[in-house]
Structure 1
């Protein structure tokens, strides 16, 4: 059973990751749920991250990201929304909340809203949800992840590729 996504929207400035420790803590939570976290230094230009459902692997592209925990957090939160969709085996939002989600994304970031046009219709809903999640405060993203993927959390987390080039604290 998933967590409510639209009901968790906050007013005001969201608290994003402030340190590499925040990034590491959330990455550990992803690994505890069985999602491999990888960092690549050779992604195509413009690609910041990706999620491969078949391999249950989340990728961050260090060659295209600034050495800034806030930017890395945004990409990590976005890609983790795709992990949540994978855990849910479908969308995070009910159909009737998509319009409200679009309005929220437009308020958060006009460029993020406009980028949605670049996606094929078959991918648009997933991207709407991911962009909504990337704009939420860190604590809410973690709570959503626990709500959507909590049944996958386990004690022993698989190893992760070191976050070379992204800083270590």
Structure 2
């Protein structure tokens, strides 16, 4: 039951119809990407990703990838993917899940309320990745301020060390 090296976001409801989390501007996206880099996470943009891939996180390399060739030039969509992948960075910082076990059912219900089909593409992932993906879909739907706050909270040790 090994995990895939890259945690990925495929084209689906979660990217095509962003949940609630939206960045107000390209500047906001740039500042958050800077915060990720400050914590030691490489932020990469590729123009040659497979057609269904929007973004990915590689824990071993501590690298977050955005697939420019599959993303519209739309800050809301890019923010959604950045927030989703940043959740995987937070899981990496924490070395485990973001939510306690007793909150997972409520998280699933919240994601379903925001975007009823957002969990359908979980079948594309190995079952060992389902929890990580539920948490990432929850984070991508949060307001930008909350995503940044969570990142600072879960990855604070990395920010302080740098």
Using the size of structure 1 for normalisation, the TM-score is 0.82
Q: Find runs of 4+ consecutive structure 1 residues off by over 6 angstroms.
A: none
Structure 2 gaps of 5+ residues are 1-18
2:48 matched to 1:77? no
Larger radius of gyration: 1
Give the structure with the higher percent strand.
2
Superposed displacement of residue 117, structure 1: 2.9
- Output the aligned Cα RMSD: 1.5
Superposed displacement of residue 116, structure 1: 2.1
2:91 matched to 1:104? no
Q: 1:143 to 1:17 in 2, by over 3 A?
A: same
2:73 aligned residue (50, 59, 67)? 67
- Choose between structure 1 and 2 for higher RCO, CA contacts under 8 A separated by at least 6 residues: 1
Q: 1:118 to 1:137 in 2, by over 3 A?
A: same
* Equivalent residues of 1:32, 1:154 under 8 A apart: no
Instruction: Please give the alpha-carbon distance, in whole angstroms, between the structure 2 residues aligned to 1:116 and 1:102.
Output: 12
- Indicate the residue corresponding to 1:10 in structure 2: none
Structure 1 gaps of 5+ residues are 1-12, 157-169
* Equivalent residues of 1:36, 1:57 under 8 A apart: yes
* Equivalent residues of 2:49, 2:67 under 8 A apart: yes
* Equivalent residues of 1:15, 1:138 under 8 A apart: yes
Instruction: Please give the alpha-carbon distance, in whole angstroms, between the structure 2 residues aligned to 1:149 and 1:50.
Output: 18
2:25 matched to 1:23? no
Aligned residues: 144
Superposed displacement of residue 154, structure 1: 5.0
